[in-house]
Structure 1
Amino acid sequence: MKIFNGFDDIKAAVGKEIGASEWVEITQDRINRFAEATCDEQWIHVDQERAKRELPGGRTIAHGLLSLSLAPMFIRSVMGLKGLRNTLNYGADRIRYLSPVPAGSRIRGRITIAEAEDVPPEGLRVNYHMVIEIEGGQRPACVAELIALHYR
Structure 2
Amino acid sequence: MSRLIINNFNEFAQHIGQELGVSDYLTITQEQIDLFADATLDHQWIHVDTERARTESPYKSTIAHGYLNLSVLPYLWGQILEVNNVKMLVNYGIEKLRFNRPVLAGDAVRLRASLVSLANLRGIAKAEIKVSLEIKDSPKTALDATVVFLYHFQ
Task: Give the TM-score, by structure 1 length.
Answer: 0.96
Q: Deviations over 1:75-130 (max 9, x none)?
A: 1111111211110110100000001100001001101111110112x210001111
Q: CA separation in 2, counterparts of 1:97 and 1:62?
A: 11
Structure 1: stretches of 5+ with no match in the other structure = none
Q: Runs of 4 or more off by more than 6 Å in structure 1?
A: none
Residue 75, structure 1, aligned to residue 77, structure 2: yes
Structure-2 residue corresponding to 1:117: 119
Q: Percent identical across equivalent pairs?
A: 34
Report how many residues are paired: 151
Which residues of 2 match residues 20-31 of structure 1 at below 5 A?
Answer: 20-31=22-33
Residue 60, structure 1, aligned to residue 69, structure 2: no
Q: CA separation in 2, counterparts of 1:54 and 1:48?
A: 10
User: What's the offset of the Cα at 1:5?
Assistant: 2.3
Give the AA of the match of 2:50.
Answer: Q
| Farther off after superposition, 110-119 or 3-12 | 3-12
1:90 is matched with which residue: 69, 72, 92?
A: 92
Structure-1 residue corresponding to 2:15: 13
Q: CA separation in 2, counterparts of 1:65 and 1:29?
A: 15
Q: Secondary structure at the match of 2:78?
A: helix
Give the AA of the match of 1:2.
Answer: L
